[in-house]
Amino acid sequence: MGKLSVVGLGPGNTEGMTAQARQTLEEAELLCGYGVYIDLIHPLYPDKKVYITPMRGEIERCRYALEQAASGVKVALVCSGDAGVYGMASPVLELAGEYPEVEVDIIPGVTAALSGAALLGAPLGHDFCVISLSDLLTPGEVIEKRLRLAAQADFVICLYNPASHHRPDALKKACEVLLRVKAPETVCGLARQIGREGERVRILTLAQLREADCDMFTTAFIGSTQTRDQGGRLVTPRGYRG
Amino acid sequence: MGKLSVVGLGPGNTEGMTAQARQTLEEAELLCGYGVYIDLIHPLYPDKKVYITPMRGEIERCRYALEQAASGVKVALVCSGDAGVYGMASPVLELAGEYPEVEVDIIPGVTAALSGAALLGAPLGHDFCVISLSDLLTPGEVIEKRLRLAAQADFVICLYNPASHHRPDALKKACEVLLRVKAPETVCGLARQIGREGERVRILTLAQLREADCDMFTTAFIGSTQTRDQGGRLVTPRGYRG
């Protein structure tokens, strides 16, 4: 029986990996993933075979990993952050039915919502949601509706993919939707290049966030009505006191 | 300068800990936390001092850890899952302003939304939210409003604290709120005792979830309209194809 493990590596450094992720890579015979993730882990296992996948062609990548596993190779397909949160676990499991001889394991990891939050303080101390602003696979009106309802629900909101080359103003547009419900003084945060060279965080208001520069390596946090800037740390209390 | 690290241990086993969490415990002189978490980590560091905190009295626990750190001791305050998601990072940072000589570090970990999702498959493949059903610190009407809006937003919904001794029917009530918006056939999942003895998962419909037994060691997942049972795994596709 073949085996394919989809492994979340956590933020972009080996310190963020779990022991379970390390053990899974150790046991794998073939490491698959984008170049930047293979660059991170291959030095740990220089003798292992690697397969660097192109940025697009996700389905082909999953099929390649499943086919290798079906041929009896122990395969680890690596993702940054968590394996499941906008990760490869979902497309792999969608295809796995065609490869009944392959056992698929999902190894979770620290996603950017958690690692970015830790750098900023404790913005996720109460109920929160995670929304991707990428409109590649999701209609813009679905994204906008979720933003509006998330603001009405007073969730802390964590935004993935706040910008890309073809959507430089995605974050600005999202902030405009949120500002129809939320106060411009709402406390927000940005975390960039988490766990990598150039890591930095910034606390700012929602009005400032609308004008902020960001890129595809940024995760944005929009506070609930309870979130505060507590001496330079973003904090959402665990309870409501009044 | 004193140092207090709030450390997320991940699910209930050492395999789920990150290298950064291990390193932080290694460097700490005093380990603080509930008995069950101290029982998990003390065998790794049998020579370290420990302080087992009572289940209630959270503020006193944070103060104790901050005071020890202020006296020059390197302290690690441990939480299960992530340090920030309903964790101790938030109350610690709320009090930290009174201890300006203490440096507070937050070490993230794999929260139950991620570890439970990995056991079930890939339910968090698209936008999701996390809601605690505990009404100890949150008014019931806030919880109900968030459930209703989360259902309208078609988030995958992850529920923490779905039951306790004084709220045995919290999950049932939450399902009734969700069923006003969502179809009874909505695919859901339960993950119990993640990473611990007795770990198990179950896939079921929202109508079945309403009648399901659960306890305080359970995390519940309610699918979006896109979530499917794919050969016994819970999968939310990353995109909308039609």
| Least confident range of A103-112, A199-208, B19-28, B210-219 | B210-219
Nearest to B121 among A93, A131, A239 (CB): A93
Q: Which of A229, A234, A10 is nearest to A115 (CA)?
A: A10
Looking at residue B136, its pLDDT comes to 87
Cα B218 from Cα B208, distance rounded (Å)? 16
Q: What digits encode the pLDDT tens for the residues A28-40?
A: 999 999 888 999 9
Nearest to A130 among B93, B118, B127 (CB): B127
Pick A88 or A167 by higher pLDDT.
A88
Percent of chain B with pLDDT over 90: 84
The model carries a pTM of 0.97
In chain A, residues 122-151 whose CB comes closer than 8 Å to chain B: 122-132, 136-139, 142, 145-146, 149-150
In chain B, residues 10-29 whose CB comes closer than 8 Å to chain A: 10, 14-20, 22-23
Q: What digits encode the pLDDT tens for the residues A78-127?
A: 999 999 999 999 999 999 999 999 999 999 999 999 999 999 999 999 99
Would you state the structure tokens that stand for residue A17, as one six-digit string? 């990996």
Would you state the structure tokens that stand for residue B152, as one six-digit string? 């309208």
Mean pLDDT within A179-203: 96
Widest distance between CA atoms in chain A = 61
Looking at residue A224, its pLDDT comes to 98
The mean pLDDT of chain B is 94
Q: Is A18 helix (H, G, I), strand (E, B) or coil?
A: strand
Percent of chain A with pLDDT over 70: 98
Mean pLDDT within B19-46: 94
Nearest to B90 among A108, A125, A139 (CB): A125
Distance of CA B234 to the CA centre of its chain: 20
Distance of CA A192 to the CA centre of its chain: 12
Looking at residue B242, its pLDDT comes to 39
Looking at residue A242, its pLDDT comes to 39
Res B134 pLDDT > 50? yes
A159 part of contact set with chain B, CB < 8 Å: no
Would you state the structure tokens that stand for residue B127, as one six-digit string? 């936008």
Q: What digits encode the pLDDT tens for the residues A41-78?
A: 999 999 999 999 776 678 888 999 999 999 999 999 99
Q: Is the ipTM of this complex over 0.95?
A: yes
Q: Which residue type sits at A159?
A: L
Question: Residue A125 and residue B152: Cβ atoms within 8 Å?
Answer: no
Res B1 pLDDT > 90? no
Own/partner contacts of B63-67, CB < 8 Å, gap of 24 or more, are B63/B95, B64/B32, B65/B4, B65/B32, B65/B92, B66/B4, B66/B92, B66/B95, B66/B96, B66/B98, B66/B99, B66/B102, B67/B99
Res A144 pLDDT > 60? yes
The mean pLDDT of chain A is 94
Looking at residue B66, its pLDDT comes to 96
Q: What digits encode the pLDDT tens for the residues B159-215?
A: 999 998 888 899 999 999 999 999 999 999 999 999 999 999 999 999 999 999 988
Looking at residue B241, its pLDDT comes to 58
pLDDT band at A241 (very low <50, low <70, confident <90, very high): low
Residues B139, B166 contacting (CB under 8 angstroms): no
